[in-house]
Structure 1
Amino acid sequence: MSSGSTKAVLTAIAGNSMVTVAKFIGFAFSGSSALLAEAVHSLADTANQGMLYLGLRRSQREADLNHHFGYGQERYFWNLVSAVTIFFLGCVYTIMHAVEQLRHDHTPELSWIPFLIIGFAFVVEGYSFFVALVEFRRQAEEAGKSFRTYFVETRDPTTLAVLIEDAVAVCGLVLALVGMGLAAWTGSAIFDGIAAICIGLLMGGLAWFLAATNRKFLLNRSNDEVNDIATKLWQADKQVQHVQRVNSIVLSPDDTLLMAEIELREETIFSSMSQEEIKQAVRFMGKLDEIRRALEDDVSRIAPETQHIFIEFTIPKKQAG
């Protein structure tokens, strides 16, 4: 498990847990829709980051009889679940509550306590954002990419999710502060309600971004960078005549499955053989291809849903004695 990603997630969980309690206390004192929206926002973030940590832990399990390539995609699954949680808990509930408050023209009682809580949240969530930003920059440097490029191309959804969530959290605090400030200044509840709706929409956008980011890796997305590297290396190899096909599947941020079909040069295979040996080798290779196709057809005939079959032959072990 990436220690940097784990630190970013645990920092976010600890910070959001404290901030969630503080915001709900502030809402109890003020009745502010904007502060309730922020409390629900932090609650959703805490639940989300708990799922991120669960995904990190579960993705590290070893391969077994039921999961031959391990559990790496658990990380993407739990990120997707957390996006759904943010959408329904953060976006939908927050907007519904804010609209209801506006309908009843409920004016919040804004003393110094809610503003103090907003300041406390700025410090805690700002620090969490800083930790995630430092870790994300470190990962980008290790990958040899710029921040912007790595932001688009990263296959690690965990640190990216924490970074985006913390950035949205800080933006949400700004909206809450502006809405509450205008409501206190004018005595009108509309600014507080509008701020809450904006925070809800912000969380809706966050949920959509996280869902889209993780969805592509749950649909057997290829690793284009690995494909390009493999293709270039093999095409430059003097033993290779032609690279017919290169396929890959991202199993986790640290694990890519690579499959390829490569045509070798005849002189590479037959350079030290006599004409008779070459004929025998050609017959042997033809026989292997015949066996491979027969084995594939056997499976496809009984299990037609098996659309992609990759068989690798091994050299028979020498008989003892």
Structure 2
Amino acid sequence: MAEAEVKTESVGTVVVAGAANLAIAIAKLVAGLLSGSAAMLSEAAHSVADTTTELLLYLALRRGARPADPRHPFGYGKESYVWAFLAALFTFVAGAGFAITHGVTTILVHEHTGSYLVAYVVLAISFAIESVSLARAVRQVRGESRRWRTTPRRYLRLTADTTVKAVFLEDSAALIGLLIAAAGLTLSHLTGDELYDGVASILIGVLLLVVAAVLARSNISLLVGRAVSERTHRQIEQELAQVPTVDRIDTLMTMVLGPEDILVAAKVDFRDDATGAEIEAASDEAERRLTGRFPEIAYVFLDPTRPRGTGRRARTTQDEPGRSVDQEA
């Protein structure tokens, strides 16, 4: 799958999720006001937060896809993580904050006015719409995991395309939140005690906090400069080692520059009898090998180096202990 196709699919996933969340937010707000349910109003805040998040993720895709220029020679891929991080913060502050605060207020006040029926109807419709949005995200996750020859779970954990990850997690959380709201609403309806509705609202807020924390952590890691996964690192090293005239890969470092851009830098020990022309040819072949197997690799820098133990060596990082969890195989 070409880079443009991947980004187009990601944009489509975000647009579908955004449109669904906007429609659901309006319906939940009306239902919450008519039924007086704290959980339903919290779900409305949840959907408003998700809608705003989708707008920020759309902006992330567009801003991050801009081509490189003299002031930004490696492109604008990392800017997408800035907007995605802001989206996670908005979910944390707006969605979770409102849900928890409103839930606590409901428990303290213990009042309910309005009909439950409209809330039940909106919950059912919302569940159906959110399921459609989640199905699209799941389809893209499965397709991308096949392209990377890995499992969907591992792809979600390690992917640099945080927009797909965000939509999947938010839609999953939305369905769970709807079930929590339905449970709280039903218990309050049957018992006449608003405690259950308030607790459901708080649980929805906690759910949003968890999603926001996961997404924020992932985006911070990518903003700092995360390496590729350990398995991909080994595969890149194997490709380089198979290039003629290469004796050994002394140091191999990688960095994710954007959802579809990877930088590879390596200190390579070429054969002692290799000529300058042979080293140049080997470098060209190395780049062809890597970009052929991993189209996401946008930059390859090879540094001919002396045999190990000769002269001062620069420090290495990815092949040493202390690797972060995000880089584990």
TM-score between the two structures when normalised by the length of structure 2: 0.79
Report Cα offsets for 1:179-233 as digits up to 9, x if no partner. 0011111111001000000000000001011111111111111124553233212
Is 2:32 the counterpart of 1:32? no
Counterpart of 1:230 in structure 2 is 236
Report Cα offsets for 1:91-139 as digits up to 9, x if no partner. 1221112111211112243331111111110111111111111111111
CA contact (8 A) 1:32 1:110 kept: no
Query: For 2:227, what is the secondary structure of its paired residue?
Result: coil
Counterpart of 1:120 in structure 2 is 125
Q: Which runs of 5+ in 2 are unaligned?
A: 279-303, 306-314, 317-329
Determine the C-alpha separation between the residues in 1 that align with 2:61 and 2:167. 13
Determine the C-alpha separation between the residues in 1 that align with 2:205 and 2:115. 21
Measure how far apart 1:267 and its partner are.
2.2
Counterpart of 1:6 in structure 2 is 11
Is 2:262 the counterpart of 1:256? yes
Is 2:247 the counterpart of 1:241? yes
The worse-fitting range, judged by mean Cα deviation, of 86-95 and 196-205 is 86-95
CA contact (8 A) 1:110 1:180 kept: no
CA contact (8 A) 1:31 1:109 kept: yes
Counterpart of 2:198 in structure 1 is 193
Measure how far apart 1:19 and its partner are.
0.3
Report Cα offsets for 1:27-66 as digits up to 9, x if no partner. 1101111001100000000000111110001111111222
The worse-fitting range, judged by mean Cα deviation, of 28-37 and 107-116 is 107-116
Alignment equivalent of 1:267, drawn from 269, 273, 277: 273
Measure how far apart 1:241 and its partner are.
2.3
Aligned pairs (5 A) from 1:165-244? 165-224=170-229, 225-244=231-250
Task: Assess, with a 3 A threshold, how the Cα gap between structure 1 residues 103 and 260 changes in structure 2: closer, same or farther.
Answer: same
Counterpart of 2:295 in structure 1 is none
Measure how far apart 1:271 and its partner are.
11
Determine the C-alpha separation between the residues in 2 that align with 1:128 and 1:236. 44
Larger radius of gyration: 1
Determine the C-alpha separation between the residues in 2 that align with 1:94 and 1:149. 31
Between Structure 1 and Structure 2, how many residues are aligned?
A: 276
Report Cα offsets for 1:55-78 as digits up to 9, x if no partner. 001111111222111111122111
Q: Which amino acid aligns with 1:208?
A: A
CA contact (8 A) 1:108 1:189 kept: no
The worse-fitting range, judged by mean Cα deviation, of 91-100 and 187-196 is 91-100
Report Cα offsets for 1:275-309 as digits up to 9, x if no partner. xxxxxxxxxxxxx99xxxxxxxxxxxxxxxxx99x
Is 2:142 the counterpart of 1:142? no
CA contact (8 A) 1:83 1:210 kept: yes
Q: Which runs of 5+ in 1 are unaligned?
A: 273-287, 290-306, 309-321
Determine the C-alpha separation between the residues in 2 that align with 1:189 and 1:239. 75
Percent of aligned pairs sharing the same letter = 31
Measure how far apart 1:90 and its partner are.
1.0
Query: For 1:257, what is the secondary structure of its paired residue?
Result: strand
Counterpart of 2:52 in structure 1 is 47
